[in-house]
Amino acid sequence: MSESSCDSISNSMIMTCFCGELARYFTSTVSLNPRRRFYRCSKPKIENCEFWRWEDSSSENSSIEVNLLKSKLEVATLKMENLRESLNVVKIKRDNLREKMENLESLNYFEVNKSRNLEAKC
């Protein structure tokens, strides 16, 4: 949490942190958890207290996770479409090369037979 704003304690339940102090009530201002409320120790640096807790239930948090997963799915879908297009390009190149190879093999067969016929006449 790099940014937050502190609200008055009257807007929230009273919570005590690990060091026995009243936990402060904050509102997140970061884009990942906008306006999400949380508690943290009022003296974390002085007391070395690591108390920190979201106020809301995990169900609200799950909507954030769902949106994140939807975004990841969209990215993966786009990557898959790009890979399919790349595969189609490679298949077309393969088919063109196969056709060229068959033409060269036919030409080679023709030239070999032509050489044999000339040798037979000599």
Q: What is the pTM of this model?
A: 0.43
pLDDT in tens, 18-63: 888 888 888 888 888 788 888 888 877 776 788 888 887 655 566 7
pLDDT value of position 3? 47
Tell me how far apart the alpha carbons of residues 108 and 112 are, in angstroms, rounded to a whole number: 6
Q: Hey, what's the torsion of the CAs at 41, 43, 47, 50, to 10 degrees?
A: 30
Tell me how far apart the alpha carbons of residues 98 and 114 are, in angstroms, rounded to a whole number: 24
Instruction: Give the containing element (helix H, strand E) for 4.
Output: strand 4-7
**pLDDT top residue among 14 and 78:** 78
- Under the banding of pLDDT at 50, 70 and 90, the label for residue 90 is very high
